[in-house]
Structure 1
């Protein structure tokens, strides 16, 4: 997951998610509206919401769900809750 696309950061909207390029490689697009929240785009074009947090110093990516079916505003809610619960 290295490369310039893995560092893409912007406030993600439905239109922005739909316009994320399919590159043939997996990458992340981070949302600036919630810490750790990102969309992972697979080589196949499948997009899923994840939130990244740390447990005992190790990064954990928790899958929220389908980025096409779940609106960005909805995805931001469990992101905040998950981070506060897990620390």
Structure 2
């Protein structure tokens, strides 16, 4: 867990109707590394996007879905999702401006 760098914590943004609606209140949703914690996510967002100040981080662990191919069954990989709420005086994240 100590080997995770801040650019490895944030994997990708989540683009959905619900996450786009939350952008008006400065809430952004990201897929993050499953071993990361809230402090690591906060530091990664503030380092990756200068001028942003994180107010709150909520995380969700998502189990893998069961998949079957013929006679064999297994699970997809687990994921972790983070909803990051920025402070009111913080700059918005430019990644989502064109959407």
Q: Provide TM-score, normalisation by structure 1.
A: 0.30
Return the index of the structure with the highest Cα Rg.
Answer: 2
Q: TM-score when scaled to structure 2?
A: 0.28
* Greater relative contact order, per chain length (Cα 8 Å cut-off, separation 6+): 2
